Amino acid sequence: MFRMRTAVIVLVVLVLVLFAVKRTLHADSSKMPAVGQMAPDFTLPSQEDPAITLSQYHGKWVVLYFYPKDMTSGCTVEAHNFQRDMAKYTADNAVILGVSVQDAAMHKQFCAKEGLNFKLLADTDKKVSKMYDSMIPVMGLSARNTFLIGPDGKIVKVWTGVNPQNHSEEVLAELAKAEGK
């Protein structure tokens, strides 16, 4: 009888702990900016500039993409694809802004090594990644999410958990659709 009671108590405690963990991991999902909302403004350093502010790009399309880590295979593929398609983005009056939790010096090395010429923003205090609900909680890295922001500053499309292999093509297709092309 004692063992049965102890087992039930342990089971109840485990269920409560699992519920609390699940709730904590999903508590911020309602914080993700939604389509139609103004994109939350922020200022971060890049590999080249001490302060890049999102609102300085009003009047342009902004591809705000969050990625886990410089110099890793998936992040390199995604960055190369954005770089490959840079002329198309420029023709559509769009800029690419990458965000990760690494510092500006690491971004500078990554850009130099991989031939990237768009801005990579250093979110070392993780505030912007959290603001956009784009964090991998257990790892402390930015999650692979992208926000297409219109020239008016409103979010037009959100992608979560993107595939770096074909993501640039997805973004370009959505950009063309949003522009009525």
5 with 72, same domain: the answer is no
Per-residue pLDDT tens, the chain, 181 aa: give them.
656 666 556 444 443 434 444 443 444 445 899 999 999 999 999 999 899 999 999 999 999 999 999 999 889 899 999 999 999 999 999 999 999 999 999 999 999 999 999 999 999 999 999 999 999 988 899 999 999 999 999 999 999 999 999 999 999 999 999 888 6
18 with 89, same domain: the answer is no
Q: Which of 62, 75, 111, 172 is catalytic?
A: 75
Asked if 106 contacts 79 with a C-beta cutoff of 8 angstroms, the reply is no
The residue range of the domain holding 79 is 33-178
Closest among 63, 97, 76, 71 to 165, alpha carbons compared: 76
DSSP secondary structure of 114-143: HT--SEEEE-TT-HHHHHTT-EETTTTEE-
123 with 159, same domain: the answer is yes
Q: Is 75 a catalytic residue?
A: yes
Domain count, the chain: 2
123 with 89, same domain: the answer is yes
**pTM here?**
0.82
40 with 26, same domain: the answer is no
